[in-house]
Amino acid sequence: MTEESKRISEIQRELQDIESHKQKLLVELKILESSKSEKVVSFAGEPIFSTPPETPENKISLFLKLFRCRDDLFPKYWENKRSEKKRYSPVCTNEWKRKICYKPNVKCSDCVNQAFMPFDKNAAWDHLTGKTTIGSYAINGQDRCIFLAADFDKSTWKEDVIAYQSAAEELHVQVAIEISKSGNGAHAWIFFNELVSACKARKLGDIILSNAMDSTNKLNLDSYDRFFPNQDYMPSGGFGNLIALPLQKEYRKQNRSVFVNKQMEVYPDQWEFLSSVHCLYAQDLDLILNKHLISLEYQYTNNRSGNEIKIDSDLYIAESILNVESEQEDQFSGTIEIIIDSQIAVPLKELPATVLRQLKKLATIANPKFFETQALRFSTWNIPKYIFCGENDSDFIFLPRGKLNNIIHLLTASGFEVLIKDNRNVNEQIELSFEGELFKHQQSAVQAIIDTDFCVLVAPTGTGKTVIAINLITIKKMRTLILVHRSTLIDQWID
């Protein structure tokens, strides 16, 4: 390697270090600015304890009231150094007993010899004193929960969890931030004074998460992973997802698994802080949901026989949260040039945060698969509730081309003049002819489509959508990419 090449490599490494340091400083700056403008917030609900607990018994009592969703069982963390497995399993007095415990062939939830240990003061004591590390199942058999926790675990977790906390405070909901066991993430806890519907609690989380994204210039909270509970209803054949509980003694020594303020400073007295956290009552939760989901009532439609069918309300609410307002509160001015290529590129430099969040909602859909799975009471683990169909880099947000008209309407309604730069390829026409005859309804469809650049044709089976598409290809006389999702459709196109 030449001296010049070595120097180039050194410079590149230094620039990477500088950029990494810059990003860390920006996160710290945002946190400090947030704390500087911190205002006194009146929270809904009330603390469980009127005074900080002083005795071990009172501390354990507070711990159980905050973190115990079900008292009939709890999971304990274990490691197998030989196989390097690290897991949580429900604590059972019959575990590994011959001819009684049939793990791993039989799941604990299906075992007929279950003898689970209760989640009581002894389990809490062992955890808090460092003898064990336990978790809490976040949903009980009645589909209720005592807390809602949001998990943040990627590089931007500090900034994102503060944005989540701030968005909650706008709703007068107090969020307690805990540094996770690894020290490289956080849990944002909302506590309830009584067991509440997991479905309602998660809707509250959705609203807070949506508002947090709206308050930032980012396309999403990249570090957000999931909620605990992760489902509205207890999945069949399991106990639901679990969360590692805080305040384990050995982790506390490392300033992990502890609660912190907005500056990420550990509260000197963890019990004093937890005793002051406002926990929501069920009526507080209902008031918040009624206010912010007031227009999200059940939607109805008609099937072919004319009977009313209730559309899944959860999917409807999820789609409504993503709804883009037709009228913008803020009016802007200036010119924005959008680029049409394989996607539509909108420059970020000119975009106000309010317009950016509307654009990202345009390209986000509620995932029907999530709600179908949830309705069947199966686990929704690793199934995203929302799917963002765009991309972004430091300069542009890239959106699907089918959203062109929506994008133009949104930008012009916000006061911008929109210029369009069309980078699509214009190929030479090829000789094609259509050897067939269209039915009247097919001719009408072709006439409606022919002058459009973007179109979706929706019609029942047997309408002749393939024939309509072939006719359009011969009219356009352009090379065409045909994508299908079934082999039978491939054969149909070939025939």
Percent with pLDDT over 70 in the chain: 88
Q: What is the pLDDT of residue 32?
A: 63
Roughly what angle, to the nearest 10 degrees, separates helices 282-292 and 198-214?
50
Dihedral over Cα of 416, 209, 238, 286: its sign = negative
Q: What is the pLDDT of residue 325?
A: 58
d(CA 209, CA 170): 12
pLDDT of 492 > 70? The answer is: yes
Dihedral over Cα of 14, 15, 20, 24: its sign = positive
Q: What is the pLDDT of residue 330?
A: 57
- Which helix or strand (DSSP H or E) is residue 331 part of? none
Q: What is the mean pLDDT of residues 354-361?
A: 84
DSSP string, 143-205: SEEEEEEEEE-STTHHHHHHHHHHHHHHTT---EEEE-TTSS-EEEEEEEEEEEEHHHHHHHH
Percent with pLDDT over 90 in the chain: 48
Q: What is the mean pLDDT of residues 314-343?
A: 72
Higher-confidence position of 73 and 30: 73
Nearest Cα neighbor of 138 from 254, 57, 233 is 233
pLDDT of 73 > 90? The answer is: yes
Q: What is the pLDDT of residue 97?
A: 83
- Which helix or strand (DSSP H or E) is residue 358 part of? helix 353-362
Q: What is the mean pLDDT of residues 99-106?
A: 83
pLDDT of 374 > 50? The answer is: yes
Q: Which residues of 362-400 are buried (b: 16+ CB within 10 A; e: fewer)?
A: bbbebbeebbebbeebbbbeebebbeeebebeeebbbbb
Q: Tens digit of pLDDT for each residue in 119-143? A: 999 999 999 999 999 999 999 999 9
Q: Tens digit of pLDDT for each residue in 177-235? A: 999 999 999 999 999 999 999 999 999 998 998 888 877 755 567 788 889 998 888 88
pLDDT of 303 > 60? The answer is: no
Q: Tens digit of pLDDT for each residue in 389-432? A: 888 888 999 999 989 999 999 999 889 999 999 998 888 889 99
